[in-house]
Amino acid sequence: MKRLLGATALLLALTACTADDPEPVAALDCEPGRFTDVPEAALGDYTYTAAFQCPEADALLPTVIVLHGMPSNGEMVRASSNMDTLAEEAGFLAVYPSNPANEWDALADGEDAAFLADLIDELVAERGADPERIYLTGFSNGGDMTLAAAVGLGDRLAGAAAVVPAGTHDTLAQVEGLETPIPLAAFVGVSDPRTEGQAVLEAWRAKAACAAPEQTSGGDFERSSWTCADDVPMVEYQVDGGHVWFGAPGAPDALWASSAIWDFFTALE
């Protein structure tokens, strides 16, 4: 009889957790209100670091994944983007993956896209990331990977931003496969010698059926904004500069790409 009662209790416990129930929020190992650094973690052959403002209770965190260029790694783009500064001020999770090859394949359905899908799963399951507010950005080759992932993983991303995409590998062909555009911000240096990325962005706009742009001037940059298919927005900054991550904290007279990226993402919510 005891065995029967025990089996019945186990069955009730299992049936109570149906597929329709929400997944529990992972308990974060941090002190609410404290800016917290996540030590390097491995995910397959890849690694990543992260930082976040520890939320109150079980609040989910908007998440910005930042991809390095080539040859480079997550810590280098972490330093150049200064995204931690914004993560602390605005309360989001900043994530910096490192590719073991020190570059990204820029394929919509390649090994690196599969890694990014696994990374999103891990961030949601273990790092408190909000699955509805996962954003992806990257520099140079990382910007190319961002554009390719926006094609292949668009249903997992709430928005994307490419900083001086360089058109590495076969990015243009990946963008030609775009079917459902997602919100996109792009940054182009007017003196950047690597112009292939501009052709990729033009192809994106063509595939996304973007209307004629509205343009504004910001002194050191020109901003163009488009409304694309299904009212999806795209913005592009033509910046007085070269092949760099533009700006830095405390430089109000120049464009800081990280701040413009976060403003673009938050405007989508």
Distance CA 202, CA 183 (A): 15
3-state secondary structure of 199: helix
Per-residue confidence (pLDDT) for residue 219, from 0 to 100: 80
pLDDT band at 1 (very low <50, low <70, confident <90, very high): very low
pLDDT band at 10 (very low <50, low <70, confident <90, very high): very low
Per-residue pLDDT of 171-202, as tens digits, reads: 999 999 999 999 999 999 999 999 999 999 99
pLDDT (average), residues 40-69: 94
- Residue 8 is classified by DSSP as H
| Residue 99: other Cβ atoms inside 10 A | 24
> Does the pLDDT value for residue 142 go beyond 70?
yes
pTM for the structure as a whole? 0.89
For residue 90, count CB atoms less than 10 angstroms from its CB and return exposed for 0-12, middle for 13-18, buried for 19 or more.
middle
Distance CA 52, CA 62 (A): 10
Per-residue confidence (pLDDT) for residue 29, from 0 to 100: 74
Per-residue confidence (pLDDT) for residue 253, from 0 to 100: 66
Q: Let me know the angle formed at the C-alpha of 95 by 260 and 93, rounded to the nearest 5 degrees.
A: 70
Please state which CATH class domain 27-207+239-267 belongs to.
alpha beta
Per-residue confidence (pLDDT) for residue 198, from 0 to 100: 96
**Which one, of 198, 169, 175, 172, lies nearest residue 186 by Cα?**
198
> Does the pLDDT value for residue 6 go beyond 70?
no
| Whether 72 contacts 102, CB under 8 Å | yes
Place of tokens 């701040």: 259
Distance CA 26, CA 29 (A): 9
> Does the pLDDT value for residue 112 go beyond 90?
yes
pLDDT band at 252 (very low <50, low <70, confident <90, very high): low
Per-residue pLDDT of 84-109, as tens digits, reads: 999 999 999 999 999 999 999 999 99
pLDDT band at 27 (very low <50, low <70, confident <90, very high): low
Domain ranges for the chain: 27-207+239-267
| Whether 193 contacts 167, CB under 8 Å | no
Per-residue confidence (pLDDT) for residue 51, from 0 to 100: 96
Helix (H) / strand (E) element for 174: namely: helix 171-175
> Does the pLDDT value for residue 20 go beyond 90?
no
Per-residue confidence (pLDDT) for residue 49, from 0 to 100: 98
Q: Between these two residues, 3 and 63, which has the higher pLDDT value?
A: 63
Return the percentage of the chain with pLDDT > 70, whole number: 89
Distance CA 113, CA 109 (A): 6
Residue 216's beta-bridge partner residues? Answer: 223
Among 20-24, 58-62, 106-110, name the most confident range.
Answer: 106-110
